[in-house]
Amino acid sequence: MKKRNIATVVIIVLALVLIVVGIIHILNAKKENQQPSVPYEKAQIGVTVDSWLKIVEIDEYYGRLAVVAENVSEDNVEYAVLTVKTKSETLSFNVSAVLSGAKVVLLCNEDVKSDPNEVYTTWQIKDKILYKNPPVMNDDIFELKVLDGSISIRNISEKDIESDIVIYYKDKKGELLNGSVTYKFRVDALAEGSQTYVKAPELNENNCQIIFTDYD
């Protein structure tokens, strides 16, 4: 009788050992197959939203959360709103005068800073407006220069420009333009060969770039 009991105990112990070994094997297999954890924001690099705005980087510029993006389409976008959902809210970024091929920084409208632990999902573009006519520099009409504290404009054409001239420009940080804000100066009519200056004390060639001009 005692021998039977001992045999039964041995069998039960062996069964338990096999079960434990099996569990350990399964857990090890899962661990080996598990991919390294990657912050979701890094996984978003390279995503193209609405077939034209490529997300290049999520970082912090000008003291707030920002998205580095590139217009990879042939469209010249006058205005749009980029939105992205996080774990707790929806963030928005204004898109202003982002021309074809431009690489820009889009600043978050909400007062938040970059968080490496944040989860960004569901990128969307809303309210997109395209320029009716392709914006151009009019290099054959105007000679433009960004100086320290001003922008110079010279009429190099062979005719008087009798209408107002509008100069559109953006702040820049390194090679990246501020894609959320566009500024403009308006200049009165400019005679053939004449030159004028628009004063702007905060400007210099390192922090400003003219993106296009317009006149009637």
* Number of continuous H segments (helices) and E segments (strands) in the chain: 2, 14
DSSP letter at 35 equals P
Per-residue pLDDT of the chain (216 residues; tens, 9 = 90+): 544 555 554 455 455 544 544 555 544 544 444 334 334 444 467 899 999 999 999 999 988 999 999 999 999 999 999 999 988 999 999 999 999 999 999 999 999 988 888 888 889 999 999 999 999 999 999 999 999 999 999 999 999 999 999 999 999 999 999 999 999 999 999 999 999 999 887 888 899 999 999 997
* CATH class in words for 40-130: mainly beta
In the chain, what are the domain boundaries? 40-130, 142-215
Q: Which two tokens stand for residue 117?
A: 């632990």
Q: What's the predicted TM-score (pTM) here?
A: 0.78
Which residues, at least 6 apart from 162, have a Cβ–Cβ distance to it below 8 Å? 189
**CA–CA dist 54, 187 (Å, integer):** 35
Give the full edge-to-edge strand order of the sheet including 195-199.
Answer: 142-147, 150-155, 195-199
Q: Which two tokens stand for residue 54?
A: 């490529």
- Terminal C-alpha separation, the chain: 110
